[in-house]
Amino acid sequence: MAACLQLAELPLDWYAVFRLEQRFGFNTSTLRIWVADKLKESLITVALLYPVAVVVVKLLEPGRGLGWFWAWVALMCVQVLIVIVAPVLILPLFNKFVPLSDGELRQRLIALAQRAGVRIRDIEVMDGSRRSRHSNAFFTGLGPFRKIVLFDTLVGQLSPPELEAVLAHEIGHFKLKHVPIRIAVSAAGALLGFWAVSILLRSNAFYEAFGFEPGSVAPALLLSGLLAGTVAFWLMPLAQWLARRHEHAADKFAARLTGGPAALISALRKLEEKNLGNLVPHPLFSRFYYSHPTLLERERALRASSR
């Protein structure tokens, strides 16, 4: 059933890439690359999630007591493993990563990381332009697998001081423990979800309402997953509030690390222009769907914090 849902989304994804993105001049992908990406995503999903699904279904069988808890533990272990190995084993399947070439920019960024007390092996540039003209930067991985990645489009759009400010923002997320916090919040939500499923597994009324035989684990998981989307929708404002709070905190960290907000504000303006961002979305829409504050909100907060 999950595979059928993914197949149903393919036409929408194709339209988003080859119609909407193409219309506004962002798409640089080809049909061959798009199809290859979808095949890789499917194979990776099956390879990683099928064994976990088998274990989870087995642990959730009625009569296993705290099986729902151990199912949650198994899922969390896999998620942490993915976070650790993704930069080394998964991301290179989709993009090429090359070290940032020697020069003023690399020296500035390495010096910035040292001032922040962050040990990094290197800064890498990703060929994001192979698929899109959108630009970004991210800090990924844990421990020795940690890496800082800049899109090649970003390097071409921003000046060295602006790139330094963007990198300082990403380092801010790391130094302020935002990734562990989000993992912990996600883990807490998953724990609550598994507990709820364990209750439904013991409810004959739940099975009878959907025409299934009581005690069947797989249908209960699929139905719970579909129903969870309705619940998650109403929790989105809380999740987005936390994400926006983290973005403001990382902005302030970057401004302190780089000696003021000017470079970061300049970089944010360029990124908003290049990515055709919406400066004034409806407040209700942004509360539900925006994980980042708007440009105007970020500028106001940065200027206020620098006074």
Residue tagged active-site, from 247, 251, 272, 297: 251
Annotated active-site residue 170? The verdict is yes
For 139, the 3-state DSSP assignment is: strand
- Identify each DSSP E strand in 45-105 by its residue range: 97-99
DSSP at 261: S
Half-sphere exposure of 303 (CA within 13 A, CB side): 8
Which tokens is 177 given? 């423990």
Which tokens is 254 given? 């970057």
Strands 147-151 and 123-126: parallel
Round to whole Å and give the CA distance between 59 and 71: 6
Residue tagged active-site, from 124, 164, 170, 247: 170
For 263, the 3-state DSSP assignment is: helix
Annotated active-site residue 251? The verdict is yes
CB 33 within 8 A of CB 48: no
Tell me the catalytic residues.
170, 251
